[in-house]
Each structure stands twice: as structure tokens, then as C-alpha cells.
Structure 1
Amino acid sequence: MEGYLVVAAVVLAGVLLVTAAMAVRRLLAPRAATEAGLRTYESGVDPVGAGWAQSQVRYLSFAFLYVVFAVDAVYLFPWALVLRDAHLGAASLVEVGIFVGVLLLGLVHAGRRGLLRWETG
């Protein structure tokens, strides 16, 4: 029963912290709505023109490369630190092999699309 009490205490503490934060915000936040406060604002750009605009998807390739290069580091470094543990065994090696294989597949895909070419100028 002790485990359930700990979980209940953590959940209760979380609910109390969120409730306290909302109460403090309600007490301290300004209430008068101005025209500037009600205007749509995104990414530091004031809204001008029509409400619909076509966005470019070239940044998708940068996000893709970030996932390939950063996420593998997030998972491989901790795995390499505990690699000396005898309890990991062959199953861990197979799992990491599959993970690295999927990442290499993404890297090959990026290379075939020309995303890894370094262009100067």
C-alpha cells in the first residue's frame, strides 16, 4: 500500500502546484484587454494581408536531419555508458543495432535527396 500512497502524494502535489500557479496568475495578470492584446501575434510578425498564406516546407529537411543526428546521440551515449553491464546481454545489442539501422536508413535517404551536400556561397 506504500507505493500507492507515494503515487497519490505525488499526484496531489502536482495538482496543488498547478492550482496554485493558476491562482497566482489570476491575481497578478492584467485584466484590461487592449486592442494590441487581442490581436493575433505569432513569431514576432504582425498580421498583415489575408489570413491564409502558403508556407514553405524547406525547413522540414532541417528538422529531419536534426532527428537523425541529435536523437541518435540522446539514445546512444547513455547506452554506451552502461554497455559494461553484464545484464544487458545480446538483446540490448540487437535493439541498438535495429535503432542504428533505422537511423542509417534515414541518413541514406537524406543523402539520396541531396540534403548532405555542403554548398558554399
Structure 2
Amino acid sequence: MNENTSHYIYRVEWSQGDNEYVGLCSEFPSLSWLEKDPQKAFSGIMALVAETVEDMERNGEPIPEPLSDRVYSGKILLRTTPELHRKLAVQATEAKVSLNRYLNSHLTSVLP
């Protein structure tokens, strides 16, 4: 297995439609692996990603950088409508916090 494939973001979740667990990789959204057992779904997607990366390397294709290896600045540029901007600014002011802090607290509340 390519050393960097272990740095990719993997997850296993239940697929109601397939009645099985599905293994997924964030950096390779087109790949998945179905199994009745969640550990096998995890192992399966990891092996599939490793095979895919090896194939991409042989063909000289660019390999996605693992999200966990990237350096993030902490800055996000968000474009929105003037109406929504105004509404958010009013809500932040009424909450007596900066717009940045208001948005951060709301984003944090919707993430697991």
C-alpha cells in the first residue's frame, strides 16, 4: 500500500438501499466498497484506494493529496447575497459578537 493512502479520510456508513455497509474515501468520491461487515467495508475501501493510486502512478496521473496532509490557513472567503450579508450582520450585532464569531459558532453547531 502506498504510504500516503493511509492518510486519506475513510469512513464506513450503513447503506439502507444496499442493506450493507459502504466504505468511502473523501479524496476518491467515485469509489466505494460494500460489505455486510463494517470492518470488511473499511478494509475493502482502503485496498481499493491503494490499487487505484498504484494504477494512477503507473499511468502518470496526478494523485490526490490527502486532506489530512494539507495545511489550512483558517481563512475562508464566502460570497453571498447582500440581503443575507445584511441579515447575518444584524443577527451578529444583536448577539453582541463579531460577524466572524457569529458565523463560526453557527458553522461549529452544524458539524459533528
Give the TM-score of the pair, scaled to structure 1: 0.23
Greater helix share, structure number = 1
Which structure has the larger Rg over C-alpha atoms? Answer: 1
Structure 1 or 2: more strand by fraction: 2
